[in-house]
A and B are shown apart, each in its own frame.
Chain A
């Protein structure tokens, strides 16, 4: 494989990874919850 073709392939994969990480890569937004709720007491 020629260096030019290899560079093109790297660019292609880089583009794919950037798209994957910046668009599909949203954070885990599922909220963890507890069965027991505890309020802060002022006193």
Chain B
């Protein structure tokens, strides 16, 4: 016995309507759940780079959580964050002694483009309660843009998947990736969306030219949904303390014995300088002795900035970043780091960069701490360009005063 054709149409129509309704319910549930903050709070954490796969998804969850909880200071910077022998490093000192949670992200070349990408990937978590500190180094302006392998390290597929629907940053990144496409050895499926775009082809094919763009949009949506679903699963795993990876481990825990105490910043500055100077007692360049022996002993004082340096590209990217933050009502504390004048004969050129950054901060209403403008105090940096104990205390103090 066969069903009448009208019944078959009704059954198929019912299935299609049911499947569509299920899709809408799932989409709405994902959209709702992804706004909730499921990641567990933590004290002091440092993520040098996101890794890939689950690790990268975890890194994004931690960042989103920290940006939205209204308590955690998110510290974004580059190689200065990697130092291990600095007790006043914000992600060690602030959580442990002052009870301020800190999440730090970055290593060499994690600068304006990467920071803009990471914040855009977590766009929904940005608000005027976000506590954000960006450490700007004069070294950012030495080159036009970051090397490709650093870009690929900072933007694995799970990070890129969150950017597919963010047109402004996607366009910027597409320009970057397309210009370097010939240098690519291998591209992930997600990165291919940021690569060169193909044209619609011969005139007779134009009738169907909309097909690839629609297919592409659907594939983008699918990748975004897949990452959203995986993020939810990972968040539940993190809540249940069954993380797949422990590479993003907590660096500092809250000091539960004494609790946070009001800091005596004058005394801390003296202590920090004493500590730093003790580590640089056997050389004339006010850098730590091991660094002097390794890099400077046979080299002496040199120039830092290349002759034809053009800071325009990085400065424009920084402006784009600050304008984006302004549009999201985020008041980020911007810190401009100095160079060591005992190591570099042209260290004072960093002041001109500091002035340009000051103008950008003024026009975007960002609070600004410029360490290049005052006379250099030995111990501020631990080497030629990386913040030392005294410099970290000065930055800790600014963060504490600004966010308390």
Most B CB atoms within 10 A — which of A17, A22, A34?
Answer: A34
Are the C-beta atoms of B157 and A29 separated by less than 8 Å?
yes
Describe B's contact surface by its main secondary structure.
Answer: helix
Residues A36 and B183 in contact, CB atoms below 8 Å apart: yes
B107 near A: Cβ within 8 Å? yes
Contact B185 A25 (CB under 8 A): no
Check A34 against B52 for contact (C-beta < 8 Å). no
Q: A1-B10, A27-B161, A28-B157 are in contact. Are A6 and B109 (CB under 8 A)?
A: no
The smallest C-beta distance from B247 to any residue of chain A, in angstroms, reads: 15
Q: Chain A nearest CB: distance from B27 CB in Å?
A: 9
Contact A17 B17 (CB under 8 A): no
Q: Which residues of A contact B188 (CB under 8 A)?
A: 28, 30-32
Question: Could you tell me the distance between the alpha carbons of A16 and B21 in the complex, rounded to whole angstroms?
Answer: 13
* A38 vs B43: C-alpha distance when bound (angstroms): 33
Of the four ranges (under 10, 10 to 19, 20 to 34, 35 or more), the interface on chain B belongs to 35 or more
Kindly list chain B residues whose C-beta atoms are within 8 Å of the C-beta of A11.
22
Report the contact-size class of chain A (Cβ under 8 Å from the partner). 20 to 34
> Min CB distance, B402 to chain A, in Å?
29
CA distance A8 to B161 in the complex (A): 33
Whether the pair B108, A40 counts as a contact (CB closer than 8 A) is: yes
User: Judging by beta carbons under 8 Å apart, are A32 and B156 in contact?
Assistant: yes
- B22 lies within 8 A of A28 (CB): no
By a CB distance below 8 angstroms, the chain A residues around B44 are none
Query: Is there contact, CB below 8 Å, between A43 and B191?
Result: no
B313-348 interface code vs A (CB 8 A; 1 in, 0 out): 000000000000000000000000000000000000
Determine the distance from Cα of A26 to Cα of B79 in the docked complex, in whole angstroms. Answer: 32
Q: Which residues of B contact A5 (CB under 8 A)?
A: 14
In the bound complex, residues from chain A placing their C-beta under 8 Å from that of B184 are 32-35
- Whether B229 and A32, one on each chain, are in contact in the complex, defined by CB atoms closer than 8 angstroms, is no
Question: How far is the CB of A17 from the nearest CB of chain B, in Å?
Answer: 5
Q: Determine if B26 is an interface residue (Cβ-Cβ < 8 Å).
A: yes
Closest CB of chain B to A21's CB: distance in Å? 4
Contact A27 B57 (CB under 8 A): yes
- Whether the pair B190, A28 counts as a contact (CB closer than 8 A) is yes
Q: Roughly how many angstroms separate A32 CA and B183 CA in the complex, as a whole number?
A: 11
Contact indicator per residue, chain B 221-246, by CB within 8 Å of chain A (1) or not (0): 00101110110110000000000000
Bound CA–CA A7/B232 (angstroms): 25
Rounded to whole angstroms, the CA-CA distance of A24 and B56 in the bound complex is 18
Q: Give the residues in chain B near A21, CB-CB below 8 Å.
A: 26, 225-226, 229
Across the two chains, which residue of chain B brings its CB closest to A36?
B183
Interface check A4, CB cutoff 8 A = no
A25 to B229, CA, bound (A): 7
**Minimum CB–CB distance for B72 against chain A, Å:** 25
Those 7 A-B pairs whose CB atoms lie nearest each other, nearest first: A40-B108, A9-B18, A13-B22, A21-B229, A38-B147, A28-B157, A29-B53
Q: Hey, which bits of chain B sit against chain A, CB under 8 A?
A: 10-11, 14-15, 17-19, 21-23, 25-26, 52-54, 56-57, 79, 107-109, 147-150, 152, 156-158, 161, 180, 183-191, 223, 225-227, 229-230, 232-233, 295-296, 299, 383-384
Query: Which A residues form the contact surface with B (CB < 8 A)?
Result: 1, 5-6, 9-14, 16-18, 21-22, 25-38, 40, 42-43
**Contacts beyond the supplied A34-B185, A37-B149, A40-B108: 7 A-B pairs with Cβ under 8 Å:** A16-B22, A26-B226, A27-B161, A28-B188, A29-B52, A31-B152, A43-B384
